[in-house]
Structure formats: structure tokens, C-alpha cells
Amino acid sequence: MVEAVQDAAVVVTGAGGGIGAALARRFAAAGARVVVNDLDPAKAEAVAGEIGGVAVPGDASAIVADARDALGGRVDVYCANAGVGSGGTEAADEAVWALAWDVNVMAHVRAAHALLPDWLERGAGRFVSTVSAAGLLTMIGAAPYSVTKHGAYAFAEWLSLTYRHRGVKVHAICPQGVRTDMLTASGSAGELVLAPTAIEPDDVADALFKGIEEDRFLILPHPEVAEYYRARATEPDRWLRGMNRLQRQWEEATAR
């Protein structure tokens, strides 16, 4: 049991399924009061009903005020988990880029904007960002996803270094493949790169709770990502050659 989350008022966005639902279940099991958000009201209601939480459906960008009301006037932990898997190249529609930017980055910025005044006044608050290993590395075939997840990671990092001395804790979760609807929808690239080492949503919740206990910013449910991230930073050309091999393997497999 993680003491920090017992009796905490928790919000999880995109919690109608996948990783968000696993996080919501885990927080509820640890004794937290949980707001379950999802764009899909039926999914939010179903998970909230199952865990004794409260459903606050809607776009994750604009739910802090309603969630705070539902939790009796306070949010202690905010999990910015909702995300869109936006694949495509530089030729992806502007609308695809705009949605990825809005959900994967700006929803986090807007939530932090709404949460910070209270957190800074109280000297306490916890922001959990479900980023992706694509935010540290990259994902073949998915430029909008990779770029905006780098943005999500950068924002989480910025929040952490800016407010950590004022009682605000930040965690960035960066998994590779996780068996959810998003992985299924990622198609042949996901099958090649993510599926072979995919883990369960519950494994991501385990990793987050361990990270909270150990007070760590970077949460790596796939520990090997640390090595890839190191390689990217220290030997960028070698790393790019390796990623390009993967790209060509994907092209051959799909006759692109």
C-alpha cells in the first residue's frame, strides 16, 4: 500500500479502458477516491461503477473544475493519461497533427494550469503523465504521435524541475507496447515493434506505484528503454541506423 495515495482525491483521464482503467482500479484499491474521465461516457460510467468512483465524462482538456467538485473541492493526484495514437508521416492531415497536439500535449498544459494554483497554495500535488517510450525514443510510422509524446515528456520534465521544491511531484510513465485497444489499432508497425514485448495495463499500474514509493520521475515499465534512451543520447547516429533498419524491415514486411 502506498501511503501517499490512501484517501487521496485522484483523477484519471482516458480511464474508460486500457492503461487509464488499470490506473483507476489500482488507485481505488489503494483507498483513493477516484474520478474516472473518458470521452466515451458509457466507458467512464462502467469503470466508475466497478470501482466505486465517480464518472466525469468529456474531453480531458477541460474537466479539472468538474472533477474537483466531484471530489469535494480538492484534487491530490491528476493522471493525464488520455492520448491519441495518431500515426502517419509528414503528409498526415493537419487535423491529425492538431488532434495529437491537443490531446497528447495541450490537455496536460491546460490541466496543470487549472491545478497549480491550489497545489502551490497547499504545497502538495501529484501530476502523473502517461507519455510513452515514443516520447523518449520515437515510433516508426507515427510522426504526429512521436513528436507530441516528446512534447508531453518535455512538459512533464519542465513541471517537475519548476515546482519540485514547492511540493509538486511529477511522474512520466514511458512504456513500450501495452495490450490495449491503442496497440491493436497501431497496425503492422505496432505488431512489429511493440507487440513482441507488450505488457498488460496492470503492469503499468505496478510500475507507477513502485515509482511513487521510490519517489522517481521517470517510470519505465519496460526497463530496457533506459538503455535505448542512453544509446540515443550518446550515439545518435548508431541509434538512428538501428531505427532505420527497423523502418526498412517494416517496409519490406508491408511492401511499402
Ligand X SMILES: NC(=O)c1ccc[n+]([C@@H]2O[C@H](COP(=O)([O-])OP(=O)(O)OC[C@H]3O[C@@H](n4cnc5c(N)ncnc54)[C@H](O)[C@@H]3O)[C@@H](O)[C@H]2O)c1
**Of the residues 10, 19, 35, 75, which one makes contact with ligand X according to CB under 6 A:** 19
* 129 contributes a contact to ligand X by CB under 6 A: no
Question: In the complex with ligand X, which residue's Cβ is closer, 39 or 116?
Answer: 39
**Of the residues 53, 87, 125, 177, which one makes contact with ligand X according to CB under 6 A:** 177
> Judged by CB under 6 A, how many residues of this single chain contact ligand X?
29
**Of the residues 11, 16, 110, 170, which one makes contact with ligand X according to CB under 6 A:** 16
Q: Taking the CB of residue 26, how many other CB atoms lie within 10 A of it? A: 23
Contact map string, positions 156 to 175, toward ligand X, x by CB under 6 A: -------------------x
Backbone angles phi, psi at 53, to 5 degrees: -100, -170
**Of the residues 77, 105, 108, 130, which one makes contact with ligand X according to CB under 6 A:** 130
First to last CA, the chain: 49
User: Nearest to residue 146, comparing CAs of 85, 224, 94?
Assistant: 85
Question: In the complex with ligand X, which residue's Cβ is closer, 223 or 234?
Answer: 223
For the chain, helix (H) and strand (E) counts, in that order, are: 11, 7
Question: In the complex with ligand X, which residue's Cβ is closer, 81 or 160?
Answer: 81
**Of the residues 24, 60, 143, 170, which one makes contact with ligand X according to CB under 6 A:** 60
Dihedral through CA 237, CA 239, CA 240, CA 242, nearest 10? 130
Cell of 169: 511531484
Per the CB < 8 A criterion, the answer to whether 13 and 66 are in contact is no
Alpha carbon distance 145, 132 (integer Å): 9
Does the annotation mark 78 as catalytic? no
Closest approach, Cβ 123 to ligand X, in A, equals 28
Closest approach, Cβ 164 to ligand X, in A, equals 23
Tell me which amino acid residue 157 is: E
Which stretch of DSSP H or E encloses residue 144? helix 143-163
**Of the residues 11, 17, 71, 127, which one makes contact with ligand X according to CB under 6 A:** 17
* 178 contributes a contact to ligand X by CB under 6 A: yes
Which residue reads 492503461 in cell numbers? 19
**Which residues are 199's β-sheet partners?**
178
Which residues are known catalytic residues? Answer: 145
- Name the residues that contact ligand X, by CB under 6 A: 13-14, 16-20, 37-40, 43, 59-60, 81-84, 103, 130, 132, 175, 177-178, 180-183, 194
